[in-house]
């Protein structure tokens, strides 16, 4: 696909480009009748959409959004899960994991636009993104222990990396839901905007990011992700490896030339 097109993945996921923003793709959760509860089919579609985005060199930033007015995503489809045997749950697990890791492993910067309910697996999809823009209606949390499981889409690992181990433990153990203002204060979300403005603000932010070198953006994300949690010496080696991957690129040459010629760069993306 190209970033100016629209493509549907199964019944519940849409990927569309935004020509005016330049190289920004929107990954839309589109199961409004179920508040985007992630069924097996929807998980499969999220994974397929992420694979297509990861393989598209024209996409510099991906924004994860929802088509539902009152929910980003309410998490796993518990109505479907209620009918599962243990064997069904075992068979479904790789598909569910692939959806969350698909978002987490997107090579370009990713931004979640969150409003309304973002609970359980829904919040884990947002946590899998690099940045979270939330509006004033957002209600987030990882309530899995209240239904006899634990966060299984990366929550036990992503949340403490974002807000620290003790705060993450409190939120996961109590299963409590956090309203928008406190979520911003705790660092659960990165930017808090007026009601109904999460998508437009996230797309605007994506547009600003997408103006930068696509090679640089992907290398910077790689360094940030791989270096996190390492000791300083090891982290600097990760950074050096990422630096070497861009230092001799066409983007580096164009960026330096554009700076000296006082013009906007025309990134070759290689």
Residues with a catalytic annotation lie at: 76, 121, 124, 144
Return the closest-CA partner of residue 113 out of 67, 55, 178: 67
How are beta strands 131-135 and 178-179 bridged, if at all? unpaired
Retrieve residue 8's tokens: 């549907």
Question: Under a CB-based contact definition with an 8 Å cutoff, are residues 184 and 162 in contact?
Answer: no
Retrieve residue 84's tokens: 């599962």
Retrieve residue 232's tokens: 């300083």
Q: φ, ψ for residue 40 (rounded to 5)?
A: -60, -45
CA distance 218 to 222: 6
DSSP state of 116: B
Question: Under a CB-based contact definition with an 8 Å cutoff, are residues 151 and 172 in contact?
Answer: yes
Return the closest-CA partner of residue 72 out of 107, 25, 38: 38
Return the closest-CA partner of residue 1 out of 22, 20, 25: 25
DSSP state of 105: T
User: What kind and span of H or E run contains 175?
Assistant: none
């Amino acid at each position: 696909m190209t970033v100016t097109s629209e493509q549907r993945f199964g019944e519940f996921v849409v990927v569309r480009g935004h020509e005016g923003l330049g190289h920004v793709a929107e990954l839309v959760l589109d199961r409004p009748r179920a508040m985007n509860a992630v069924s097996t089919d929807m998980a499969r579609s999220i994974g397929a959409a992420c694979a297509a985005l990861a393989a598209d060199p024209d996409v510099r930033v991906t924004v994860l959004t929802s088509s539902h007015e009152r929910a980003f995503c309410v998490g796993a489809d518990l109505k479907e899960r209620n009918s599962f045997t243990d064997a069904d749950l075992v068979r479904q697990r790789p598909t569910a994991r692939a959806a969350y890791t698909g978002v987490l492993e997107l090579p370009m910067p990713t931004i979640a636009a969150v409003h309304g309910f973002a609970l359980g697996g829904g919040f884990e999809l947002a946590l899998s993104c690099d940045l979270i823009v939330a509006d004033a209606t957002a209600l987030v949390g990882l309530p899995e222990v209240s239904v006899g499981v634990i966060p299984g889409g990366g929550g036990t690992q992503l949340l403490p990396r974002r807000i620290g181990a003790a705060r993450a433990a409190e939120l996961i153990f109590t299963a409590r839901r956090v309203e928008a203002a406190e979520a911003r204060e705790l660092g659960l979300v990165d930017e808090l905007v007026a009601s109904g403005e999460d998508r437009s603000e996230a797309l605007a932010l994506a547009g600003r990011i997408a103006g930068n070198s696509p090679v640089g953006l992907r290398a910077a994300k790689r360094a940030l992700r791989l270096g996190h949690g390492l000791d300083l010496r090891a982290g600097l080696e990760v950074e050096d490896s990422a630096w070497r991957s861009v230092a001799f690129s066409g983007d580096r040459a164009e960026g330096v030339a554009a700076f000296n010629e006082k013009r906007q760069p025309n990134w070759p993306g290689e």
